[in-house]
Amino acid sequence: MPALACCVDPAALFPPGGYALAAGDISLQPPVTFSDDWSPSLSSTLYKVDGWGAPYFAVNSSSGNITVRPHGSDTMSHQEIDLLKIVKKASDPKSLGGLGLPLPLIVRFPDVLKNRLESLQSAFDYAIESRGYESHYQGVYPVKCNQDRFIVEDIVSFGSSFRFGLEAGSKPELLLAMNSLCKGSPEAFLVCNGFKDSEYITLALVARKLALNTVIVLEQEEELDLVIEMSNKLCIRPVIGLRAKLRTKHGGHFGSTSGEKGKFGLTTAQILKVVKKLEQVGMLDCLQLLHFHIGSQIPSTTLLADGVGEAAQIYCELVHLGAQMGVIDVGGGLGIDYDGSKSVESDISVGYTLEEYAAAVVDAVLRVCDSKLVKHPVICSESGRAMVSHHSVLIFEAMAASACAAPALSTLGLQHLVEGLSEEASADYHNLSAAAMRGDYETCLLYIDQLKQKCVEQFKQGTLGMKQLAAVDGLCDLVGKAIGANDPVRTYHVNLSVFTSIPDFWGIEQMFPIVPIHRLDEKPTVRGILSDLTCDSDGKIDKFIGGETSLPLHELEGGHGSGRYYLGMFLGGAYQEALGGVHNLFGGPSVVRVLQSDGPHGFAVTRAVPGPSCGDVLRVVQHEPELMFETLKHQAEKFSDDDGNSVAALATFLARLFNNMPYLVASSHDMNTMNNRSKNNNGFYYCSSDDDYNAAIADSASGVEEEEQWSFCSA
């Protein structure tokens, strides 16, 4: 007997003139997706953690939580950091020893950043030494990837011993780069890219006057006139670079800036004109660097070597024309493997390692320079994505889950529905019943769709009531469950703004690994998509690595501690913070900076700061929170009927709301943890050990009940 028919009473299924499918009789469940036996290693495979996460992230085999390996492959077992413990330390109330930071939360790991920097340098050092290359590698970090002060300062500090520098693309970026490099190596490059006016060029020349190793890269031919004019006016000799517009083109999603029609760069004809003009004004010796950019996320070393080889030919030609060349800047493009597939065909993966990338660059430059009898140049790269992506993890919480469940269908409701059907709809109903008896599931789907459409039309015409329409949904859901045709995907509502924190997903469909950071020793029993707090329908995540349109997840309810369910987005340290805005006036997340520690907790929080408050984001769009507060308080006084107690209570509530983050809070107790944002160095906690960290926590807890930040809020 067909599977559907065996779940109902055959005698009652199609009685003459009856109502066929008996409500409540069908009991088939959607097919089970995952094995009943489960382990953390199965979770690691399911979420591909070993692919995209190595060597920095793993699933702990005993706790079932995501752990961070801050020193990469050199991390010892006792140095691994439990990500859930960091979240609890950051988000627990101050009265319980936490920092009281609301979620969402960015956790930064400077140790990972240091390891990425050292790994890149080591890869180039090995390639250079093993091939007999007669110069060195000297990279720069493009600050546009993430301009956060502490990230930039960490890179300058960690890279000082191997002359690692910075790249800027605007005047404010140049200012912050100048400031940071004052504490770096005097040999570190300060590469000035982007569109330039006289003010930008003057600032770059001043940087050179301040003994910073500044290179002004010409993106357009017209910029040369400004460089000549301002350098003569200030009597500062510039170092000039050229950005070449190569013929080599990156054909992937991130390759639009490459090729002859790219946004930036000079053609070969323009390069020759620049050389001629510099020669005429006696400044050809200032031309010392050649820069190019194939595109972000270069998928293969074959494409990379092709572009570097073309650029090396231009470099050698410039040497032969008399320029005092010394540096070839291969630009950005060093990709990372977002999905763990190591595929050269994917826009979110790459088919090479750091070592293979460095080897391809060195080999291409070496081959061309040796063939042209040109001295080997210093090799520079502007690797931003590959430097900062891994060191930052975005943590957010699922607050609720919902599914489109149709109402339960009763026998009486089914009878009432059938009696109201039109002749055409009634025919579809009986055809559906017959198909169900035959086990013809494809025909069932056809008649389900036709029946629902006809009933909707009847409802619009007023010949079918709302209860009958609901019964149709119940009937279709009943049949769909029985034949396994229902969509089992749930919507998980998360405390996040996609537009603010993951803008690349919304804007260019860039996918990032998203994984529950705990409960990975349990079998995920449902699949879900993620819906954010914003009122836009685009505020959802419904595409995941591996080509999946839903994510394996766990049930929210049940005895799991506080019942909270935390998810992490990984490899998002580049661009997301820089691109995010204040859509729906949701500001950025809270941030903690975490170092590996040999203390009892395995880590120390060296900096913590809550995300922008409601007042902060209102100021961004030109509102004045203090005046808004006074207006609302005056309105409350105007319409209050009592002795003023309710006005004082409302004023206190409003003051707290202006001062709290815009995101959801789990309870009223958690709301009170942020009342004292101005204490403790404006929410910044500096410590170098667990003892200092615990002292900072104790100090912060002692001030929880102190007076509000706004003096006029004490009414």
* 446 Cβ contact partners less than 8 Å away, ≥ 6 residues apart: 435
> Tell me, what DSSP letter sits at residue 407?
P
Quickly count: other Cβ atoms within 10 Å of residue 412's Cβ: 10
The residue assigned the tokens 């067909």 is 2
Sign of dihedral through CA atoms 470, 471, 472, 477?
A: positive
- What does the block give as tokens for 94? 């101050």
* 80 Cβ contact partners less than 8 Å away, ≥ 6 residues apart: 58, 60, 67, 68, 69, 602
- What does the block give as tokens for 51? 């692919």
Quickly count: other Cβ atoms within 10 Å of residue 640's Cβ: 14
Calculate ∠ Cα 564-568-573, nearest 5°: 145
How many residues are recorded in the chain? 715
CB 81 within 8 A of CB 60: no
CB 398 within 8 A of CB 567: yes
Question: 447: closest CA among 7, 16, 20?
Answer: 20
The verdict on whether 535 is a catalytic residue reads yes
| Helix, strand, or coil (residue 701) | helix
CB 23 within 8 A of CB 411: yes
* 57 Cβ contact partners less than 8 Å away, ≥ 6 residues apart: 49, 66, 67, 68, 69, 570
Interhelix angle for 198-209 vs 223-234, to 10°?
Answer: 50
Gap between the Cα atoms of 708 and 714, Å rounded: 7
CB 360 within 8 A of CB 301: yes
Gap between the Cα atoms of 228 and 230, Å rounded: 6
Residues 7, 369, 476, 535: which is the catalytic one? 535
3 state SS for 459-519 = HHHCCCCHHHHHHHHHHHHHHHHHCCCCCCEEEEEECCCHHHHCHHHHHHCCCCCEEECCC
Interhelix angle for 423-438 vs 466-482, to 10°?
Answer: 20
Annotate 394-411 with b (16+ C-beta within 10 A) or e (fewer).
bbbbbbebeeeebeebee
Catalytic residues: 535
